[in-house]
Amino acid sequence: MKKKSSSKKRAFKRLKPSDLRDRSLRDHLLYLLKSGGAHATFDAAMGDWPVQLAGAKVANFPHTAWMLLEHMRLAQWDILEFSRSSKHVSPPWPEGYWPASEAPSNEKAWTASMAAFKKDLRTMARLVSDPKVDLHARIPWGDGQTILREALLVADHNAYHLGQLVMLRKSIGI
């Protein structure tokens, strides 16, 4: 006796091949953005980092956790806002993408930066999830960028710096 397929499976099968490819691509992008795939997730790398060690430096490593967190937040915010608004103006490179200090001014700054990073990541994921957004269309105010490229850039940039944070965490001993 055959099992009945769920309505979700039936709906999935009724999609045109191009719709299936689009859904598959969006699912893959969301996987990269949300769970990291083969990479550490943001929460795994940062979730229990003690604020007292946010400004800790280790030998032969140029950045602190605070510097990396703020750099990731600023770069992700810039990419997101560029993707959404023709009025967005990017900060100056490179100084606009790094914090002025090696440590947060207080615990509130540390937690606010983490919250802002997570919020912008969720917003990018919603943009990628929206079937009305053509992932392949050129962003009109850009010079060839697409939402697909920008989402991959966020995932790639985050994965790189999360790897640095994991190594920094190990070097500090947390």
pLDDT of 3 above 90: no
Residue 64 maps to which CATH number?
A: 1.20.120
Do the domain assignments include residue 114? yes
Cα–Cα distance, 141 to 88 (Å, whole number): 10
Give domain status of residue 154, yes or no.
Answer: yes
* pLDDT tier, 169 (very low <50, low <70, confident <90, very high otherwise): very high
Over the stretch 118-152, which tens digit does the pLDDT of each residue have? Answer: 999 999 999 999 999 999 999 999 999 999 999 99
Please report whether residue 49 resides in a domain: yes
Q: Classify each residue of 112-150 as buried b or exposed e, where b means 16 or more C-beta atoms within 10 Å of its C-beta.
A: ebbebbeebbebbbebbeeeeeebeeebeeeeeebbbbb
Whole-angstrom Cα distance, residue 95 to residue 93?
5
What pLDDT, on the 0 to 100 scale, is given for residue 20?
Answer: 82
pTM for this predicted structure: 0.87
Please say if the pLDDT value at position 43 is more than 60. yes
Judge whether 2 lies within some domain. Answer: no
Residue 35: pLDDT band with limits 50, 70, 90: confident
Number of domains the chain contains: 1
Specify if 5 maps to a domain.
no
pLDDT digits (tens, 9 = 90+) for 62-89: 999 999 999 999 999 999 999 999 999 9
Residue 81, domain extent: 16-172
Within-domain flag for 11: no
Whether residue 9 lies inside any domain: the answer is: no
